[in-house]
Amino acid sequence: MAKLKECIPFGLILAVPLIAYVTAENISVPVYGALGHSVYLHFNMTLNSSVHVKWKQGVSPIGAFKDNKTAFNNPYINRTEIFANGTLRLDRTQKNDSGDYSVEVFNTDGTNIFKGSMQVYIQGELALLKLNMS
């Protein structure tokens, strides 16, 4: 019979979205997500409403937030969201969502004011359970 403490992490993985915080330029942060669930990618920077935020996976653009509007590229349409604070949410994650993600923030005159990156690993729930228990 499994001990209660061995069962708790599995439920937490399913119920709590994973969030990564990028706190400085060009720091690579590993993020682990469960296949089929949502993952939130966030950087620790206060934004005003006039900035332009761009997210990419590798060299492929995911989407952008500008003037309180979002625009997305395929295959991210209908399963991603970029919030006013710049956070990217990937819904219904797939194996091919694993990879390098980058974010760039520009001010109103087009000057780049922030760059960050993170490595995302989308894994099956059993792999995450093992990772969480180690």
Instruction: Give the global pTM.
Output: 0.72
Pairing of strands 18-22, 39-43: parallel
Tell me the pLDDT tens digit for each residue of 8-51: 333 233 334 444 444 445 456 688 888 999 999 988 777 776 78
Residue 116 in tokens: 């960050």
The pLDDT tens digits of the residues spanning 85-120 come to: 889 999 999 999 999 999 999 988 888 888 888 899
Place of tokens 């720091």: 27
Buried b (16+ CB within 10 A) or exposed e, 36-62: ebbbbbbbebebeeebbbbbbbeeeeb
- CB hemisphere CA count around 89 (13 angstroms): 13
Domain segments of the chain as ranges: 4-133
Please identify which residue in the block is written with the tokens 């690579």.
Answer: 28
Token pair recorded at residue 117: 């990156």
In this predicted structure, the answer to whether residue 2 has a pLDDT above a threshold of 70 is no
CATH number of 4-133: 2.60.40.10
**What does the alpha-carbon distance between residue 120 and residue 104 come to, in Å, rounded to a whole number?**
17
Residue 72, exposed/middle/buried by CB under 10 A (0-12, 13-18, 19+)? middle
